[in-house]
Amino acid sequence: MRAPLTNRAKAGNDLGFRLLSHLAAAEDAAGKNVFLSSFSIAIALAMTYNGADGEAKEALSAILGLDDSNLEELNEANAAFLAMQDGLDPKVTLAIANSIWVATGLTLAPEFVRRIGDHYAGKVANLDFSAPVEAARVINEWVAKQTRGKIANLLSPPTVLDAIVILVNAIYFKGVWTNQFDKRYTSESVFTCADGRRKRLPMMAQSGIWHYSETEMFQGIVLPYGERRVGMHVLLPKPDVSLGTFQEHLTSERWKEWPWHARPSEGDFVLPRFKARYKENLVEALVALGGKGFKGPAFPGMGVGDLRISAVIHEAVLEVNEEGAEAAAATAVVMTRGGPSLRFSMVVDRPFFCAICDQETGAILFMGWILDPE
């Protein structure tokens, strides 16, 4: 199972980098954080893929990077990923949950329900979408429970009004640094945002030995959690490298390369204590990645007639402090009809990229650009 897991991790990571590139390049994204969980998005879309056919299936296959993978391999790999939450690390909490909400009076195809239950542990329930305020409240309460209250209002009533099926994934992460930052060394300093604004933030400082790498483009470091299976990767563009240049440079292929050049190195590290939140309807971005057929109409495998994807609502949050990091994300697919020196110094006082990764499979759980930390 190791090879299929590694392949799915690579495909999920590639989806994340392609989405980040597209979203960061959008006109309204200038100077804003773009932070997401490609893991959550891939799981939600994989559940949707189980009911897809025709152009929609081809588009989802392109988005998910399935290549020659068959449906059973995809589902088994995702089932193995969901099993990671059990005993991942004593100092790391990882919780993943899935649910499917179906309009009152409709019943999903038994084979579709079986696959979702067997591989995604997905809860299936009927919900009256003609009462959108109550329907949104029910789904939002489920998401809030799964994300420990971090995401409380994923869906709005207008989004669910015409829904036939809504597929939801929620993921929650909390990890304690292997070497925590001492609060005595946290002090306010200046962080320069992407738009040039300078703001004062609490900056955490620590000296020690980490996996570190430095190139002409960036400095990179891995901050491990707990027993070191999961870590936060922080990549900081060099001062003379523009944010746009580095965003174009950091592709999925280059992401795979950089950890191999990292070596245990002694140095001083400064990171802001910050929070970030991002929410977006990803439909147009996913159409750009997979083609016009992505939205349907199709999905006969769900057994409730032809459906069309009207929204893919994604929300992700991240909080980093001296003890560790807490992150959560949720994705709802709404379906309707119709070589360093011996010692380094890395001060994260300008926009940077970070990712929380499972070090064993390579799967990126969360990833994004922090341009304006709060």
Fold of 177-275+340-370: Alpha-1-antitrypsin; domain 1 (2.30.39)
User: What is the per-residue pLDDT for 6?
Assistant: 84
pLDDT of residue 313: 98
d(C-alpha 85, C-alpha 89), whole Å: 9
Q: Please, are residues 32 and 366 in contact by the beta-carbon 8 Å criterion?
A: no
Q: Are 163 and 313 within 8 A, CB to CB?
A: no
CA neighbor of 8 nearest in space, from 165, 119, 166: 119
Domain boundaries along the sequence of the chain: 2-175+276-336, 177-275+340-370
What's the pLDDT at 19? 94
**pLDDT for the residue numbered 29:** 65
> Residue 109 has what DSSP assignment?
-
What does the alpha-carbon distance between residue 47 and residue 31 come to, in Å, rounded to a whole number?
Answer: 33
CB 172 within 8 A of CB 330: no
What is the tally of helices (H) and strands (E) in the chain? 10, 15
pLDDT-flagged residues of the chain (< 70): 1-3, 27-29, 68-69, 339-343
Report residue 7 as tokens.
């392949």
CB 317 within 8 A of CB 277: yes
Phi, psi angles (nearest 5°) of residue 149: 80, 0
Q: What is the DSSP string of 293-328?
A: GGG-SB-GGGSSS-BEEEEEEEEEEEEE-SSEEEEE
Cβ–Cβ under 8 Å, residues 172 and 38: no
**C-alpha–C-alpha distance, residues 42 and 78, integer Å:** 9
C-alpha 198 chain-centroid distance:
28
What's the fold here for domain 2-175+276-336? Antithrombin; Chain I, domain 2 (3.30.497)
Q: Give the H or E element holding residue 232.
A: strand 230-237
Torsion of CA 74, 78, 79, 80, to 10 degrees: 110
